[in-house]
Chain A
Amino acid sequence: MDLFLQLLVNGFINGSNYALLGIGFGLIFSTTGIVHFAYGSVYTFAAYVAWFLATSFGLALLPSMAGAIVAAVLLGVACYTLLYRPLELRRAPPLIPLIASLGLNIMLENLNAIIFGSGVRSANFASEVYFAGPVFFTSVHIWQVVSCIAVVAALVVFLRKTRYGRAILAMTDDPNMARVVGIDTKKVSYIVFALGSAISAVAATLTLMKDGASTHMGFIAVFMGFVAVIVGGVGSLRGVIAGGFLLGIVESLGLWKISTEWQSSIAFIVLFIMIMLRPQGLFSIARR
Chain B
Amino acid sequence: MEYIYHIAVLFCLYGILTISFNLLVGFTGMFALSHAALYAIGAYTTAILATDFGIPFPLDMIASVLVAAVISAVIALPALRVTGHYLVIVSLALQIIVLQVILNWKSLTRGSDGISGVPSYNAFGFAITSPDRFLIVALIALAACYWFTHRLVRSPFGRGLRAMRENESAAQAVGLNILYMKLSTFAISAALAAVAGSLFARYFRYVGVDSFTINETIYVLAMVILGGMGNLRGSLVGAAILVALPELLKFVPLPVDIADKIRLILYGLVLMLILLVRPQGLLPEPRGRKAMLVSVEDESGPSDAGKLLDGEGGRQGGVVLQGSNLRKQFSGVTAIKDFSIALKRGQITGLLGPNGAGKTTAFNLLTGFLKPTDGVITLNGRSIADRKPHELVSAGVARSFQDLRLFTNMTVIENVIVALPDQSGRRWPNLFLHPARIRAEERANAARAMEILRFVELENKAHETAADLSYAEEKLLVVARLLATGAEVLLFDEPMSGLDQTTLADIFPVLRRLAEHGKVVCIIEHNLDVIKELCDEVYFLDEGRTMAVGTPDALMNDPELAERYFK
Chain A residues close to B by CB (< 8 Å)? 83, 86-87, 90-93, 95-96, 99-100, 102-111, 113-114, 223, 226-227, 230, 234, 261-262, 264-265, 268-269, 271-272, 275-276, 279
Supposing A102-B218, A106-B264, A107-B264 touch, asked if A87 and B279 sit within 8 A by C-beta, the answer is yes
Given A114-B258, A271-B89, 19 new contacts (CB under 8 A): A87-B279, A90-B276, A90-B279, A99-B221, A100-B275, A103-B222, A103-B269, A103-B272, A106-B268, A107-B264, A108-B268, A109-B264, A110-B265, A230-B86, A234-B85, A262-B100, A262-B104, A268-B92, A275-B90
Chain B residues close to A by CB (< 8 Å)? 31, 78, 81-82, 85-86, 89-90, 92-94, 96-97, 100-101, 103-104, 218, 221-222, 225-226, 229, 258, 261-262, 264-265, 267-272, 275-276, 279-281
Closest beta carbon of chain A to B261's beta carbon, Å: 4
Closest beta carbon of chain B to A130's beta carbon, Å: 34
Is B269 a contact of A268 with CB atoms below 8 Å? no
Is B271 a contact of A276 with CB atoms below 8 Å? no
Supposing A90-B276, A96-B279, A99-B225 touch, asked if A230 and B89 sit within 8 A by C-beta, the answer is yes
Is B275 a contact of A93 with CB atoms below 8 Å? no
A268 CA / B34 CA spacing, docked (Å): 13
Closest beta carbon of chain A to B367's beta carbon, Å: 23
Cβ contact of B268, chosen from A91, A107, A272, cutoff 8 A: A107
A95 CA / B165 CA spacing, docked (Å): 15
Is B268 a contact of A87 with CB atoms below 8 Å? no
* Interface-central residue, B81, B101, B269, B275, by most chain A CB under 10 Å: B275
Is A95 a contact of B225 with CB atoms below 8 Å? yes
Closest beta carbon of chain A to B532's beta carbon, Å: 37
Could you jot down 20 A-B contacts, CB within 8 Å? A83-B272, A83-B276, A87-B276, A95-B31, A96-B279, A99-B275, A100-B276, A102-B271, A105-B268, A106-B265, A107-B264, A109-B264, A110-B262, A113-B261, A114-B265, A261-B104, A268-B96, A271-B90, A272-B97, A279-B81
Using Cβ atoms and an 8 Å threshold, which residues of chain A touch B279? 87, 90-93, 96
A232 CA / B402 CA spacing, docked (Å): 32
Main secondary structure of the interface of B (DSSP, over half): helix
Using Cβ atoms and an 8 Å threshold, which residues of chain A touch B93? 268-269, 271-272
A230 CA / B271 CA spacing, docked (Å): 27
Using Cβ atoms and an 8 Å threshold, which residues of chain A touch B89? 226-227, 230, 271, 275
Using Cβ atoms and an 8 Å threshold, which residues of chain A touch B264? 106-107, 109-110
A227 CA / B90 CA spacing, docked (Å): 9
Using Cβ atoms and an 8 Å threshold, which residues of chain B touch A105? 268
Is A107 a contact of B269 with CB atoms below 8 Å? yes
Using Cβ atoms and an 8 Å threshold, which residues of chain B touch A276? 78, 81-82, 90
A246 CA / B272 CA spacing, docked (Å): 35
Closest beta carbon of chain B to A273's beta carbon, Å: 9
| Beta-carbon nearest neighbor of A107 in chain B | B268
A272 CA / B100 CA spacing, docked (Å): 15
Is B100 a contact of A265 with CB atoms below 8 Å? yes
Is B96 a contact of A110 with CB atoms below 8 Å? no
Is B261 a contact of A264 with CB atoms below 8 Å? no
* Interface-central residue, B92, B94, B221, B268, by most chain A CB under 10 Å: B268
Using Cβ atoms and an 8 Å threshold, which residues of chain B touch A262? 100, 104
Is A114 a contact of B100 with CB atoms below 8 Å? no
A276 CA / B104 CA spacing, docked (Å): 25
Is A102 a contact of B276 with CB atoms below 8 Å? no
Supposing A95-B225, A102-B218, A110-B262 touch, asked if A230 and B85 sit within 8 A by C-beta, the answer is yes
Using Cβ atoms and an 8 Å threshold, which residues of chain A touch B81? 276, 279
Closest beta carbon of chain A to B464's beta carbon, Å: 21
Is B97 a contact of A99 with CB atoms below 8 Å? no
Closest beta carbon of chain A to B258's beta carbon, Å: 5
